Amino acid sequence: MSLDANGRALVLVVEDEPAIADLIRLYLRKDGFGVHVEHDGTAGLDAVRRLSPAAVVLDVGLPGIDGVEICRRMRAAEDWTPVLFVTARDDEIDRILGLEMGADDYVTKPFSPRELVARVRTVLRRAGGGPARDDEVLRIGDVELLVDQRRVRAGSAEVALTATEFALLTHLVRTPGRVFSRDQLLAAVWGYTASSGARTVDVHVAQLRAKLGDASPIRTVRGVGYAAS
């Protein structure tokens, strides 16, 4: 995890509205994070590359390069730093999270600063891997998860996943055959429940299936949720 000069986990905030950027900075610092702020997409992308932050809070509607393009370029460069989107409209979420560049989470404006900080903590916890057992290996069909190394293989190919995708797949594979509702997955993987969150689960499942291809063990249980088998 990248740290600032004072040894705090560094969060990069890219937000073009100064009042919102200042509010996010205030609450993140109160919670013990180091914070660096940029106000346009070009400077934000440069800061991602220069600072290697622990997480990025990324406004979607930025001048210059927008937030979606920043995240796409990060993932294309195999930079899997957790990204939390800030978006002005809830109806943008399907478009944003549906892209294969791999957002980890999002909040919509207006948002609670405390909720945003909690979401940042959650994506960092997922990226850190939690209390995995040494050399834990999970296998289901042609998919193998090296949990302590946070690596996934589908057949003979290694598959790059975001922290959220890895956490979701691990949660499903640890109890093969068990059917989880969307609310259960939201609570276990994202750490919250919300009516709009069901779409988040569906989109991340779709991303996992696309990346794992024919080896994907995830099945849909209509009217209930998802299982790995």
Residues 48 and 120 in one domain: yes
* Phi and psi angles of residue 119, each rounded to the nearest 5 degrees, phi first: -65, -40
What would you measure as the largest C-alpha separation in the chain, in angstroms?
Answer: 50
Residues 144 and 58 in one domain: no
Asked if the structure places residue 91 within a domain, the reply is yes
- pLDDT bin (cut points 50, 70, 90) of residue 122 is confident
Give the tokens for residue 219.
């099945």
How far apart (Å, rounded) are the C-alpha atoms in residues 180 and 194?
16
Report the candidate in 11, 21, 5 with the shortest Cα–Cα distance to residue 53: 11
Answer with the one of 76, 93, 128 that is the final residue of a domain.
128
pLDDT of residue 225: 94
Residues 20 and 83 in one domain: yes
Residues 82 and 33 in one domain: yes
CATH code of the domain in which 153 resides: 1.10.10.10
Asked if the structure places residue 217 within a domain, the reply is yes
Average pLDDT, the chain: 86
pLDDT of residue 170: 93
What does each C-alpha distance from 177 to 36, 113, 210, 219 come to in angstroms?
Answer: 44, 38, 21, 9
pLDDT of residue 107: 84
Q: Percent of the chain having pLDDT more than 70?
A: 86
Average pLDDT for residues 103-122, to the nearest whole number? Answer: 88
Asked if the structure places residue 5 within a domain, the reply is no
Residues 37 and 77 in one domain: yes
- pLDDT beyond 90 at 205: yes
Residues 45 and 122 in one domain: yes
Residues 33 and 111 in one domain: yes
Average pLDDT for residues 175-187, to the nearest whole number? Answer: 91
Give the tokens for residue 143.
């998919």
Average pLDDT for residues 82-101, to the nearest whole number? Answer: 69
Question: Under the phi-then-psi rule, with left for phi > 0, alpha for psi from -120 to 50, and beta for the rest, what region is 109?
Answer: beta
pLDDT of residue 129: 46
Q: What is the pLDDT of residues 13-45, one digit of tens each?
A: 999 999 999 999 999 999 999 999 999 999 999
Q: What is the pLDDT of residues 151-166, one digit of tens each?
A: 899 998 999 998 889 9
- pLDDT bin (cut points 50, 70, 90) of residue 130 is very low
Asked if the structure places residue 35 within a domain, the reply is yes
Asked if the structure places residue 51 within a domain, the reply is yes
- pLDDT beyond 70 at 95: no
Q: Which domain holds residue 177?
A: 137-228
Answer with the one of 128, 159, 191 that is the final residue of a domain.
128
- pLDDT beyond 90 at 10: yes
Residues 51 and 76 in one domain: yes
CATH code of the domain in which 24 resides: 3.40.50.2300
pLDDT of residue 92: 62
Residues 123 and 211 in one domain: no
Number of domains in the chain: 2
End-to-end CA distance of the chain: 33
Asked if the structure places residue 1 within a domain, the reply is no
Residues 91 and 183 in one domain: no
pLDDT of residue 144: 95
Asked if the structure places residue 21 within a domain, the reply is yes
Residue 212 DSSP SS3? helix
Answer with the one of 128, 156, 183 that is the final residue of a domain.
128
